[in-house]
Amino acid sequence: MTTPARFTPNPKMEYRRLGRSGLKVSVLSFGSWVTFDTQMKDDTARECMQNAWDAGCNFFDNAEAYAGGESEAIMGRVIADLGWRRQDYVLSTKVFWGIDGNVPNMNNTLNRKYLHHSIEGCLDRLQVDFVDLLFCHRADPHTPLEETVWAMSDLVDRGKVLYWGTSEWTADEIRAAWEIAERHHLHKPVMEQPQYNMLERRRVEVEYKRLYEDIGLGTTIWSPLASGVLTGKYIDGVPGDSRAALPGYSWLAERLTSAATQEKVKRLIPISDRLGCTLAQMSLAWCTKNPNVSTVITGASKASQVTENFGALEVIDALTPDVMAEIKSVLKS
| Nearest-angstrom CA–CA distance, 315 and 325 | 16
From the list 308, 242, 230, 305, the residue with the least C-alpha distance to 45 is 305
Cα maximum dimension of the chain: 60
Catalytic residue among 15, 66, 196, 212: 66
Contacts of 310 (CB under 8 A, 6+ apart): 28, 51, 52, 55, 56, 57, 298
Give me the helices (H) in 22-69, please.
42-54
Identify whether the C-beta of residue 238 lies closer than 8 Å to the C-beta of residue 253: yes
| Nearest-angstrom CA–CA distance, 280 and 277 | 8
From the list 34, 80, 84, 36, the residue with the least C-alpha distance to 248 is 34
- Residues facing residue 136 across a β-bridge: 95, 166
**15 counts as catalytic:** no
Q: For residue 168, report the phi and psi dihedrals to the nearest 5 degrees.
A: 60, 35
Is the CA virtual torsion 314, 319, 320, 323 positive or negative? positive
Identify whether the C-beta of residue 253 lies closer than 8 Å to the C-beta of residue 94: no
Burial of 320 (C-beta count, 10 Å sphere; 0-12/13-18/19+): exposed
From the list 300, 297, 310, the residue with the least C-alpha distance to 92 is 297
Active site residues: 66
